[in-house]
Amino acid sequence: MNLKNNHSLEEHETEVRKCLWCNLSEENLQVTFNKKAHTIPQSLGGKFLCNNVCDRCNHYFGSPEYNRPSVEVVLREGFELTRYMAFSNEKKKSNNYARFKSTFFKLNTTNRTFSLKPIYSIKPGFQASMARQFKRGIFKIFLEEYQRQTNNGMEGRFDFIREFARYDLNDIPIFYMTPKIPVLFYIESEFIAPELNFHQTLQKKIDDYEFYDLNIFGHGFLIPTYRNWNLTLESNIRKAKNDLKGQYIEFKLIESFEDVDFSLKFMGS
């Protein structure tokens, strides 16, 4: 009996939808793809969908666990703060962005600072826990957008991202890049219908540098794109830093939520 050959004849197998995160296919009766999976949370203006996210995984990213906020809530808290700071001026008072009510932070729009509300600041490790959820969220956005735009997100080289973002295993460094000039560079569409850019140069960096400079809501993040990042971190980071030195002055390893300049303090400096 040659099962292998029989299998290769079943052409429909190639069309069965698989989940980017848990790798289960819709042939499995417990796996459904009914809900729309936004690559960037809808609450942040995300309009694009990834068709390869099963309902269970989709639900997972929006659910709090072990006394921590969900990945999506942390993404929203951070980037809403940016949108609020970028748009909450007198001229744009009617703007939707100016209505942000943060769950975790007290905002000070005059000196562009934010601090944790007392109820959270007394929770030990809350900042670090937020940072971890945020980083997982950044990788979630990366892989879902990559899948949506290139259809190559299933590749085994991204398994380390699945382990971290979906299964909360290990840790992957992300560097926050502080812009050189105190100006927020963005295109209006980035805030209205945010998406990642995978044009040729950036794709080349993913392959050659093993890093991707991810731009979203005017922020720059440097994220590893290969499992072996720890072996090549120093040389690749050096390459990336040199390449980006015209745009950024600082590359900060994100350890605490406040390591990311969500409130755009750099603009006031």
CB of 41 to Zn ion, least distance (A): 17
Shortest distance, CB of residue 21 to Zn ion, whole angstroms? 4
Closest alpha carbon to 101 in 122, 136, 71, 76: 76
Closest CA to 25 of 38, 35, 15, 10: 15
Closer Cβ to Zn ion, 54 or 143, answer by number: 54
Give 154 or 233: the residue with its C-beta nearer to Zn ion. Answer: 154
Q: Which residues bind Zn ion (CB under 5 A)?
A: 19, 21-22, 54, 57
The residue among 50 and 196 lying less far from Zn ion, judged by its C-beta, is: 50
CB of 162 to Zn ion, least distance (A): 10
Other beta carbons within 10 Å of 159: 12
SS3 101: coil
Shortest Å distance, C-beta 150 to Zn ion: 19
Q: How far is the CB of 166 from Zn ion (least distance, A)?
A: 8
Nearer to Zn ion by Cβ, of 54 and 86: the residue is: 54
Q: Which is nearer to Zn ion, 54 or 81 (CB)?
A: 54
Separation of alpha carbons 69 and 61, rounded Å: 10
Q: Which CA distances in Å does 140 have to 93, 105, 235?
A: 32, 23, 25
Cα four-point dihedral sign 44, 45, 49, 55: positive
Beta carbon nearer to Zn ion, 53 or 86: 53
Determine the length of the chain: 269
Of 22 and 233, CB closest to Zn ion: 22
CB of 60 to Zn ion, least distance (A): 8
Q: Which is nearer to Zn ion, 21 or 209 (by Cβ)?
A: 21
C-alpha span between 161 and 168 (Å, rounded): 10
Q: How far, in Å, CA of 113 to CA of 263, rounded? A: 6
User: In which residue are the tokens 């700071």 written?
Assistant: 85
CB of 153 to Zn ion, least distance (A): 13
Cβ proximity of 60 and 166 under 8 Å: yes
Q: Least distance from C-beta 22 to Zn ion, angstroms?
A: 3
DSSP code at position 192: H
CA-derived radius of gyration, the chain: 20
Q: Which residues pair with 211 in a beta bridge?
A: 224
**If you ran DSSP here, which 8-state letter would residue 6 be given?**
H
DSSP-based three-state secondary structure for 249: strand
